[in-house]
Amino acid sequence: RAKDLGRGQYQVFTPTMYYAAHQLLKIETDLHRAIKQKELLVYYQPIVDLAQGKIVGFEALVRWLHPQHGLMFPDSFLPVAEETGLICSIGSLVIEQACDQLSQWQQQGFTHLNIYINLAVQQLSQSSLVEEIDRILAKTKLDSDSIKLEITESSMMQNLQSTKLLLRQLQERGIKLSIDDFGTGYSSLSQLQTFPVNTLKIDRSFIQNLDGTPDNLGLVPVILSIAHVMKLNVVAEGIETKQQLTQLRELGCHFGQGFLFAKPLNAEEATKLIAQNPHW
Ligand code: C2E
Ligand code: MG
Ligand code: MG
Ligand code: MG
């Protein structure tokens, strides 16, 4: 900070800093409008039961259909949303849109489908989150069992006590919890055991190294053993090749998602895919 530089010194506000600050403000203003004007959309990426080769659910992934910039990905606006606190409004919007969509699919007869929804760390201390979820459950009449909330391993380890309380409240409602990007954070196994968690999602970086040979399995078998001992389901993220799929099947991994099956799709495309009933 400029103040820390001491008396008689001053920090220059460079054009780059000005530009960055300006961009941030612009995205923030734009995001406020986007939330109001319903420019934020949920895309859906299938999650596949690897033994059956069938779609069992979808992960809800937010997109921004920006009037000037077109379809924007979360990496380009979630950091600003997190910094400004707008992430909670966006999160609520995603939960509602995704649950409405799942409810539509279930009414069309696809009753076996689940929805996986990402929660940002800020939502874990959002006091209204549980009430909002209760309201959405009441409105959509969804079976709470078909909703899975994803929390990254690193965000789970922040505010341990309040996070645990929230997770217990969700668990009491029958909502299942997944740990996202598992293997990239710093949770200890003994900590992990004290959380009411149901699924581990193995981070894509571990799956990328699988090349069909037994030499580059890396930590994947270790994570699968941990999950087995702790009686947790496993979803492998980022499956892109047939070899990766074959190896994960041989290793006994339950579920997977990745571009090999499908990229995240808009609601209409996802509905078409479900109707086609694909088999891998
Ligand atoms: P994530 O939750 O780990 O989601 C998986 C990301 O990996 C998605 O990126 C997905 O498109 C991408 N992916 C899936 N399969 C493959 C593959 O085979 N290869 C490659 N290269 N990538 C694959 P996306 O949609 O850009 O989302 C990025 C991250 O943004 C998510 O990572 C999640 O952390 C966050 N995010 C997305 N939607 C939401 C949301 O509604 N709320 C919150 N809080 N975070 C969200
Ligand atoms: Mg996720
Ligand atoms: Mg992930
Ligand atoms: Mg991720």
Q: Whose CA is nearest to atom 23 of ligand 1?
A: 238
Whether ipTM > 0.95 holds is yes
Q: Whose CA is nearest to atom 34 of ligand 1?
A: 118
Residue 37 burial class via C-beta count within 10 angstroms: exposed 0-12, middle 13-18, buried 19 and up: exposed
CA 15 to chain centre: 35
Question: Which tokens sit at 107?
Answer: 């009414």
Pair 206, 219: CB distance under 8 Å: yes
Ligand 1 site: residues with CB under 6 angstroms? 45, 60-62, 73-75, 78, 91, 94, 118-120, 150, 180-181, 204, 237-240, 257-259, 264
pLDDT for residue 24: 79
Ligand lying nearest the CA atom of residue 61: 1
E strands present in the chain: 40-49, 54-66, 70-72, 114-118, 147-152, 176-182, 199-202, 233-236, 255-256
Question: Considering the chain, what is the average pLDDT of its residues?
Answer: 92
Tell whether the model's pLDDT for residue 7 goes beyond 60. Answer: no
Mean pLDDT of 2-8: 53
The long-range contacts involving 18-27, CB below 8 angstroms and separated by at least 24 positions, are: 24/80, 24/83, 27/77, 27/80
Ligand lying nearest the CA atom of residue 244: 1
pLDDT in tens, 174-202: 999 999 999 888 778 888 888 889 999 99
Tell whether the model's pLDDT for residue 45 goes beyond 70. Answer: yes
Ligand lying nearest the CA atom of residue 201: 3
Mean pLDDT of 239-244: 97
pLDDT for residue 193: 85
Mean pLDDT of 33-59: 97
Q: Which of residues 7 and 211 earns the better pLDDT score? A: 211
Rounded to two decimals, what is the model's pTM? 0.93
Q: In ligand 1, which atom is closest to the CA atom of 181?
A: 3
Distance 8 CA to ligand 3 centre (A): 48
pLDDT in tens, 209-234: 999 899 999 999 999 999 999 999 99
pLDDT in tens, 102-144: 999 999 999 999 999 999 999 999 989 999 999 999 999 999 9
Distance 181 CA to ligand 4 centre (A): 5
